Structure 1
């Protein structure tokens, strides 16, 4: 018997929470993109954060897409966790990952074209990101002969957890050294926190419906992602983010932001 939901209301709630997390997490990218465009500068945005974030989201996209679309990966998941268990990746997870990669690339493009001051990508961040992809390539070589595809994609999930754990550190340290958050959008943190909570609750709903915690252990990356995001976002908010967010929102009317986004994407498409 295939995996299926036991409660239709819980299934609906699961989808609602998933798309809520998608919406808030996706929107969390835009305050920084808009802020960069308004200032025509990326001074204050840590480049290590951008590069580590790109590695994180690219790895997470590979994991989510494979878990959601590739039958052999799903089969190996069921072999390990049981055929009555639901796949712990939703369509909203895949949609978020695609959107996140595109917006992170857009932010990286802004780093190239706008004023940067004396900021540079650190050697450490370059080595970490490069090392992550080398490790992924080695895992591919190891997994290929025996067809250990679940093990391989789980490796990408592990990479995204590690990147999530360390990606905030350069920005937090930079803010501390400058004693300022100018140039870095606090608005993305408020939205990021909401997405983390929604993502965690979504996993909880699936666990309640299935009467099992296998979805937590089966997608430990998604669980740790939510918890790490919540912890770091609360830290940033505690360090004075609320006042910065208020000032940022007051100076950024909704209509003008929509127009700015239209201009940004129009230029990026050329």
Structure 2
């Protein structure tokens, strides 16, 4: 089993990893708090929440399995070499566990708070059902040969796919409306910081080990950061460059024109009463 060659790099790896955890974790709370204050989930995409739950559940299955299972770790070493380190850290397991719990809380808010006329689309439901049916088929394929490393790599690929799918509706909505009004940029900035820190963590481990197997041995983690950073850049460009938000200002003349008819109507009603 591989070990760290440099204590400073090991400390840096842990620090950067927990920075990614904190950045990604705090990104969940603005929406959660907003729902609680409004006692409403109107304006929140239910498709995003449902797709996000599948994404984070798949990621948790991968992280927890590779981090805790000695059997899967053995299969990893047999494939990539015993001189390599497991590419999943404690902060990865903590993040994915927290993400599943928070997403479940948001789903509970959707059930108890005002939803208006919103509902989950058939497309989102179909995607979720298809993904879990595919995962079930892969499980029964892996079962006879105990190909658990291959199976969790499938879940790793699923979470990457779901990451791409969940971002597309919001990006398209911003483009269609030519506005990002009502869309929190704070979550995007934190998500971007977490993605950069995640990459930095992988780079630190690769430098210490003198090998880049850490990247293609955990393609899901690498692609997760790549997809997240790419969409974050798109959202930031939409917010700050293409469709910068401006507070609506009502001209004084318009206010006068709007209020004047109300006064006349009142006077007319009073005259009719007399």
Shorter chain as normaliser: what TM range? 0.7 to 0.9
User: Which of these two proteins has the greater Rg computed from alpha carbons?
Assistant: 2
1:210 corresponds to: 209
1:37 corresponds to: 36
User: Residue 180 of structure 2 contacts residue 238 of structure 2 at CA under 8 Å; is this kept in 1?
Assistant: no
Q: Deviations over 1:176-215 (max 9, x none)?
A: 4455545543221111111011001100111111111101
Residue 26 of structure 1: CA displacement? 0.5
Q: TM-score, normalised by structure 1?
A: 0.86
1:85 corresponds to: 84
2:254 corresponds to: none
Pick which of 50-59 and 176-185 moved more: 176-185
1:239 corresponds to: 238
Q: 1:172 to 1:117 in 2, by over 3 A?
A: farther
2:110 corresponds to: 111
Q: Secondary structure at the match of 1:171?
A: helix
Q: Deviations over 1:78-129 (max 9, x none)?
A: 0000000000000000000100000111111122222222222111111111
2:168 corresponds to: 169
Pick which of 121-130 and 107-116 moved more: 107-116
User: What runs of 5+ residues in structure 2 fail to find an aligned partner?
Assistant: 246-274
2:94 pairs with 1:95: yes
Q: Distance in 1 between matches of 2:6 and 2:74?
A: 24
Q: Secondary structure at the match of 1:84?
A: coil
Q: Deviations over 1:107-160 (max 9, x none)?
A: 111222222222221111111111111111111100011010000010100000
User: What runs of 5+ residues in structure 1 fail to find an aligned partner?
Assistant: 245-270
1:250 corresponds to: none
Pick which of 12-21 and 104-113 moved more: 104-113
User: Residue 180 of structure 2 contacts residue 239 of structure 2 at CA under 8 Å; is this kept in 1?
Assistant: no
Q: Distance in 2 between matches of 1:54 and 1:62?
A: 12
User: Residue 24 of structure 2 contacts residue 95 of structure 2 at CA under 8 Å; is this kept in 1?
Assistant: yes
1:260 corresponds to: none
User: Residue 32 of structure 1 contacts residue 184 of structure 1 at CA under 8 Å; is this kept in 2?
Assistant: no
Q: TM-score, normalised by structure 2?
A: 0.85
Q: Distance in 1 between matches of 2:178 and 2:118?
A: 16
Greater relative contact order (Cα < 8 A, sep 6+): 1
2:68 pairs with 1:69: yes
